[in-house]
Each structure stands twice: as C-alpha cells, then as structure tokens.
Chains A and B, each alone.
Chain A
C-alpha cells in the first residue's frame, strides 16, 4: 500500500479527534436544548443555626408567578415556586414551609394521606399538628424519596391541604389574585451529602383523571417534580 504516508495516519487520527469533537458538541447541544433538558435554578435552604436550616416555597394553581414567560398550555400548569431544585445542609434539621395557594384534587392512593418521615411524625397546617388528611382535602403532596445511590435512606411525605374551591382571592401576587394560602410546615433530619428526588403524588395535572392527572406538570421538572441535594455548606 502506498498510502502509508504520514498524511494517511494524520487523516485517521484527525477524523477520530473530529468525531469525538462532534460527540462533545452534540452533548453540549442536547444539554442546552431548552425543550428537552430544562433544569430549573437551585434554591438553597437558609441556615438558621449550625445544624438547622429552613426552606420556604409555595405551590400555585397556575404558572403566572413562577413561569411567567411560558406560553400555552404550560401557563395553566400547577407548579411549585420559585423552583424545584433544592439544596439543604447535611446532618441538619431542615424545616420546610410551604404556602399552598391551590385547591384540592382528591387523592387516588390513600397511602399518601398520611404524614411520613417527619420529626414527630406530623406536619403543621396553619400551626395545627396533623398526622393524616382526608383524601378529598389534599391538593398536592411533597414526597421526598431516596435514589438508588443515596448514602442515607430518607423518606418524607406530607400531604398539602388545599384551600376551598370558593375561597375569596384577596392575595395579589404578580398581578394575579389568589386565596389566602394554607401554610404547611414540617421538619426532617438529613444525613451525609447525597442526591434525592421528590415528587407530588396527587393527580393534580391536566384533566385530573388518572392517568392524565399525572401528566404535564407532574412529569416535568420545574413544576411538580424535582431534586433535593444534601450538601455540606
């Protein structure tokens, strides 16, 4: 073969390098592609002591406050606000306060009526301790679960009590009127650093009829599903 010239070898090596460049480029392209890989911003819990922190979020019946820029139909999606990616300190007591502005959707799996995994086994609904909620009164759940690689099992599930359907709407946020929210708070203890995911188990998505109740916002990070990272800080 006459082609054993250096140009031939350079050609092979060059094309392989170029090829891996294409791979890297498509990785970067897919990551930054808005439509498929939306990653919401991270909200860190505020430290209130050396071993405690608090995180405050809201749930809204639509996305006008939190995702003002999206079009139809996402603008009508229920959502956690301001984000669904949380960061909390390791080996600490975490207090999460959720202001729920949404009305109820009957839950279809009675399992999620109960409070699991919190300190004391209860949650505070408008400062009243509660261990379980009627299936008809729940609008969402906040259910934190371990991933296969979590170093420390963590399972926390609290039902969020909905506001009445016909409640007056005196609260004005970002030009939208909302009812007086229910404030739900609960505490749990974190272990060593690791990654967890959380999700809502109430069929609050579009049409609200299973399986449609679990569609849309329910399977989109940034709305009703997200991650919780335990980190040292």
Chain B
C-alpha cells in the first residue's frame, strides 16, 4: 500500500514532496515492533506463566498466551505512533506556527470501530466458549471435596470416604475428576488454587461449586485465600498434593478413612 493510498483515509493533505513519508515509516516501525514483541512474548511466556496441573488451568494459560499475542500489535500501534510523533514532530521552543488541522475521515472512523469491535467480539466469544466448556456435569466417578473456610483455616472433608484431612493438606489423586463444594462458617473467603485453575468464593450460608477439574500432573501446589478475611488472611493457606491413585488410597487410610 503506498502512501498516497493511505493518506486519503487519514484525511491529511498530500505531503509536500520534501517531507519524509511519515505514515509509511511509522507503519513499517509498527510492523517490526509488533513482530519483535510477539516473538519476545512467545519466547518468555513459558517462564512467566506457571506450569498448569489441570486441563482447565492449561487452557486458561493458553488464553493468556493468545490474548497477549493479540494485544501486542494493539499496544505497539499506540506506542509507535505516540513515540514517533513525540520525537519527529516536536519543536524545540514554544511553537509559533500551528499544526496541520486533521479530521478523521468516515472511512477511518468506520475502519477503527470495526477493527476494535471485531477484536472485542472475538475475545467475548472466546471467553464464552471457555465458560461453556466449564459447565459440563461432574462424571460419576468424580471425587467430591467439601471445603470449609473459617477464619483462618481451610478444612477439607471427603464425604465419599467419610474422612477429613488432618491438617493443612488437600490430597488429590491424579487423573481423577474432582469437584469442590465450598462454603464458609463466618465471613467471605476466596478459595483459590492457581495451578488447578480453581477459584471460587466461600460464602457464609451458601455452597458454591467449582467446575470439574482433572489434575493431570503430580506435584505440590497451594490453596490460598483471595478474599480479605481479617487478621490472619495471609496465613490462610494449605498445601495441595496431587499424588498417584494408590498413594491417595493409603493417605485416606492414614487419615482414618476407609477406601
């Protein structure tokens, strides 16, 4: 696309012949910076996004990855135009002349609104699709954990085994769907496990249920409280151990339950 093709869109008068072709320059800069930005993001993303332990968290991380790839050109558009203008069009002293009055042409207005609108709708549809995937019903073999928040401790009860975890530990078997029923005894708490993609409020007098998640990676993670709940809010913490099915069974027995 040559400069003369674009200029009528922006609505600026045709540049004088000696003037550099600002628009072409800035668009090239924008393309270059966008490519560099996306490349850098794809290179560092694996160090920035923590490893996921469930499919759900994995897809959440993927959403972050995709959204950021989309965001880089948008951000670069503003920054490159801003930086270029501030550097190239600056005058040293108080200006005695005025800038060229520009008006957005209808084409530019429609184009800008359409592009931002399409981007925005894409994000909404993506989000709705992800949300829809989480609404699947729990399979019959799903492990149910009743989570009770109380200032300032989480307690975990496994009704299928009639046993509570003895301490600040949430033990989960790998590759088995799990669903958390979360409630609170006193004030609002927020039940959150980053690596599992699970995050739901514990409301007094209500039971809220998380989406079904299936841990796919053994390891140690943490439950935190993400709703300010008073004095020891930042100590309201538990370990999450995702272990093999057999280890889980022996753990249940060690806590006084029966398999």
Contact = CB atoms under 8 A, between A and B. Distances in A.
A225 interface: yes
B237 A210 contact: no
Contact of A145 (B168, B224, B231): B168
A221 B222 CA distance: 26
B185 A210 contact: yes
A109 B185 contact: yes
B239 interface: yes
B35 interface: no
Interface stretch (B97-105, B148-156, B191-199): B148-156
B154 to A, nearest CB: 10
Interface in A160-175: none
A219 B231 contact: yes
B167 A148 contact: no
B239 A219 contact: no
A199 interface: yes
Contacts of B224: 148
Contacts, number: 64
A20 interface: no
Contact of B232 (A197, A210, A213): A197
Interface string B109-151: 0000000000000000000000000000000000000001011
Contact of B230 (A116, A117, A148, A219): A219
A96 to B, nearest CB: 18
A227 to B, nearest CB: 10
Contacts of B148: 109, 111
A146 B223 CA distance: 13
A101 to B, nearest CB: 24
B186 interface: yes
B155 A148 contact: no
Interface string A119-150: 00000000000000000000000010111100
B11 interface: no
B151 A153 contact: no
A219 B185 CA distance: 15
Nearest to A156: B167
A173 to B, nearest CB: 28
A111 B152 contact: no
Given A153-B167, A220-B231, A148 B153 contact: no
A148 B232 CA distance: 12
B41 interface: no
Contacts of B164: 111
Contacts of B187: 211, 214
A218 interface: yes
Given A147-B237, A148-B237, A214-B186, A117 B167 contact: yes
B145 to A, nearest CB: 13
A210 B186 CA distance: 6
Contacts of B153: 143, 145, 199, 201
A155 interface: yes
A201 B237 contact: no
A115 B230 CA distance: 26
A156 B256 CA distance: 16
B204 interface: yes
Nearest to A197: B235
A108 B185 CA distance: 8
21 contacts: A109-B155, A111-B155, A111-B164, A116-B167, A117-B166, A145-B153, A148-B224, A148-B237, A153-B167, A155-B166, A155-B167, A197-B235, A199-B153, A199-B232, A201-B150, A214-B151, A214-B186, A214-B187, A219-B230, A221-B231, A225-B232
Given A109-B148, A153-B169, 14 more contacts: A109-B185, A116-B167, A117-B167, A145-B168, A145-B235, A146-B237, A148-B222, A148-B237, A155-B167, A197-B152, A210-B204, A211-B186, A214-B185, A219-B230
Interface of A: 108-109, 111, 114, 116-117, 143, 145-148, 153, 155, 197, 199, 201, 210-211, 213-214, 218-221, 225
The 8 closest A-B pairs by CB, nearest first: A155-B167, A211-B186, A111-B155, A219-B231, A214-B186, A148-B237, A116-B166, A147-B235
